[in-house]
C-alpha cells in the first residue's frame, strides 16, 4: 500500500549513490516514489557531475542517468537518508571507490537511514556496516554478507535500526514504504515535542 501524501517528505533530502550497471528499476521507482512525496533526491556517483550512468534491465542496457553530484563533493550532514540501488556491476564498482565507501561509512556513523536493495547491501561490508546487522539482499549475496558477520534472512524488507534492505525489484513497494517510514519518524518526533 502506497502512502498517499504529496508533502509528507517535504524538505527531506535523499542521496542515491550509484554508478554503471545499476539495476534501473531499483533507482527509478524509489526515486519517483520519494519525489511524489516531496523529497529532494540527488544522484551521486564516483563519476563526475554531468557524466552518464548506464542503467541495466537485468542483462541488457537500459537508460542512462545524469550524475548530479560527485560523491567526493557530498557531505552526509546535508542529507536525511542514503539509498543504494542494486544491479551486479554497480555495487562492485562502488566497492572499488574509496570515496564512495567512505561516504557510506560516514552516513552510517551519523546514524541516518541507509536503504540498500538487491546487490546494494554488499557495499555495506566495505563500509563496516554489515557486521552485527540483520540484513537481506539478492540471495546470491547471502554468503558474502554472512561471512562479513551479518545475520541474513529471506524477507521482502528487513529493518535493523537505520539499515533498510530488500532482495529484488518485486520488493520495491515494501522497500519504499520502509524508507518512507524511516524518514517520517524524525519529523513525527520533532512534531510531538518532549514526551510527557
- 141 as an active site residue: the answer is no
Phi and psi, residue 180, nearest 5°: -55, -50
Selected catalytic residue, list 44, 118, 125, 150: 118
Mean predicted confidence (pLDDT) in 92-117: 97
Q: Is the pLDDT of residue 3 over 90?
A: no
Neighbours of 62 (CB within 10 A): 17
- Whether the model clears a pTM of 0.85, i.e. scores above it, the answer is yes
Place 192 in a pLDDT band, splitting at 50, 70 and 90: low
Residue 187: predicted pLDDT: 57
The three-state (H, E, C) secondary structure of 33-92, written as one string: HHHHCCCEEEEEECCCCCCEEEEEECCEEEEEEECCEEHHHCCHHHCCEEEECCCCHHHH
Q: How far apart are CA 14 and CA 9, in angstroms?
A: 10
Do residues 92 and 69 make contact, with C-beta atoms less than 8 angstroms apart?
A: no
| pLDDT (average), residues 142-161 | 98
Average pLDDT over every residue of 145-160: 98
Q: Return d(Cα 98, Cα 153) in angstroms, integer.
A: 28
- DSSP reduced 3-state for 32: helix
Amino acid at each position: 500500500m502506497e502512502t498517499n501524501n504529496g508533502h509528507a517528505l517535504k524538505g527531506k533530502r535523499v542521496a542515491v549513490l550509484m554508478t554503471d550497471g545499476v539495476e534501473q528499476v531499483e533507482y527509478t521507482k524509489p526515486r519517483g516514489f520519494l519525489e511524489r512525496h516531496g523529497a529532494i533526491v540527488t544522484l551521486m556517483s564516483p563519476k563526475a557531475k554531468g557524466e552518464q550512468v548506464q542503467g541495466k534491465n537485468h542483462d541488457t542496457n537500459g537508460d542512462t542517468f545524469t550524475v548530479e553530484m560527485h560523491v567526493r563533493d557530498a557531505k552526509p550532514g546535508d542529507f536525511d537518508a542514503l539509498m543504494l540501488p542494486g544491479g551486479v556491476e554497480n555495487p562492485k564498482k562502488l566497492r572499488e571507490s574509496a570515496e564512495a565507501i567512505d561516504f557510506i561509512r560516514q552516513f552510517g556513523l551519523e546514524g541516518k537511514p541507509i536503504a540498500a536493495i538487491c546487490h546494494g547491501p554488499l557495499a555495506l561490508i566495505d563500509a563496516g556496516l554489515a557486521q552485527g546487522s540483520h540484513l537481506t539482499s539478492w540471495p546470491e549475496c547471502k554468503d558474502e554478507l554472512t561471512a562479513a558477520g551479518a545475520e541474513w534472512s529471506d524477507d521482502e524488507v528487513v529493518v535493523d535500526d537505520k539499515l533498510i534492505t530488500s532482495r529484488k525489484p518485486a520488493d520495491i513497494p515494501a522497500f519504499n514504504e520502509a524508507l518512507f517510514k524511516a524518514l517520517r519518524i524524525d519529523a513525527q518526533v520533532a512534531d510531538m515535542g518532549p514526551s510527557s
